[in-house]
Amino acid sequence: QKEVEQNSGPLSVPEGAIASLNCTYSDRVSQSFFWYRQYSGKSPELIMSIYSNGDKEDGRFTAQLNKASQYVSLLIRDSQPSDSATYLCAVRGSNYQLIWGAGTKLIIKP
Amino acid sequence: NAGVTQTPKFQVLKTGQSMTLQCAQDMNHNSMYWYRQDPGMGLRLIYYSASEGTTDKGEVPNGYNVSRLNKREFSLRLESAAPSQTSVYFCASSTRGGARDEQFFGPGTRLTVL
């Protein structure tokens, strides 16, 4: 069974610090990787996608992918209270469907 | 441009009742999806429609049926609701379902089955 694993948290980070969220996956042929943010009671919202090994930056967000080690991470710089949410990792498998992690709850403390 | 819309937002059913969840998108997307989200679990795919006129089972299709009414609309039907179907249901859409395809979600329907 293809799996995507995330630490459920909560991960507590001081305001202004860097938040680091991690995700591991089991399907070696996975091609595409996505990070979604989900506020309580709301729907998932796409933050970033990454397809190649290395880093991809978008504003305060950086996604990192290491296919050899089968992990993908999301860094949030200068964390703000508005970043407090659950972050979902999704991995596209060989059948082109997304496999989802259960999410990491992030709390930014003022 | 409303994106993906879902109705209703909330619903309470009794065991054995039936209902249809509606989803529509105005982004001219080809692919549409129905997921359920339960506490402590990742989103699980119920059914998807890669393009108008096609539907396929996902990970957890039992107890559900779908209809791709046209390119815009994709409905999910519960024929005989069970308490195990208490969940939050999300509809999503994407351009064409390829490897780099990004999915966009509707606001969700919170369903409780008593």
| A98·B103 Cβ contact <8 A | yes
SS3 for B108? Answer: coil
Given this model, what pLDDT does residue A62 score?
A: 98
Given this model, what pLDDT does residue B101 score?
A: 86
Q: Does the pLDDT value for residue A75 go beyond 90?
A: yes
Given this model, what pLDDT does residue B15 score?
A: 98
Backbone angles phi, psi at B83, to 5 degrees: -55, -30
pLDDT in tens, B5-17: 999 999 999 999 9
pLDDT in tens, B16-71: 999 999 999 999 999 999 999 998 888 999 999 999 999 999 999 999 999 999 99
Question: For B33, which residue in chain A has the nearest alpha carbon?
Answer: A97
| B97·A96 Cβ contact <8 A | yes
| A31·B102 Cβ contact <8 A | no
Query: What is the C-alpha separation between A30 and B47, in angstroms, rounded?
Result: 21
Q: Measured between CB atoms, does B90 come within 8 Å of chain A?
A: yes
Sign of dihedral through CA atoms B75, B81, B82, B83? positive
Confidence of residue B98 (pLDDT cuts 50, 70, 90): confident
Given this model, what pLDDT does residue A96 score?
A: 81
Query: What is the C-alpha separation between A91 and A74, in angstroms, rounded?
Result: 14
Residue from the list B99, B105, B108 with its beta carbon closest to the beta carbon of A92: B99
Confidence of residue A78 (pLDDT cuts 50, 70, 90): very high
Contact status, residue A100 vs residue B33, Cβ threshold 8 Å? no
| A46·B97 Cβ contact <8 A | no
- Per-residue pLDDT, averaged over B107-114, amounts to 98
Q: Does the pLDDT value for residue A34 go beyond 90?
A: yes
pLDDT in tens, A21-30: 999 999 888 8
Residue from the list A4, A43, A97 with its beta carbon closest to the beta carbon of B42: A4
Distance from CA of B22 to the nearest CA of A (A): 16
Window A:34-73, CB contacts with B under 8 Å? 34, 42-46, 49, 51
Given this model, what pLDDT does residue B100 score?
A: 82
| B99·A31 Cβ contact <8 A | yes
Contact status, residue A49 vs residue A33, Cβ threshold 8 Å? yes
Confidence of residue A39 (pLDDT cuts 50, 70, 90): very high
Cβ-based burial of A68 (10 A; exposed 0-12, middle 13-18, buried ≥19): exposed
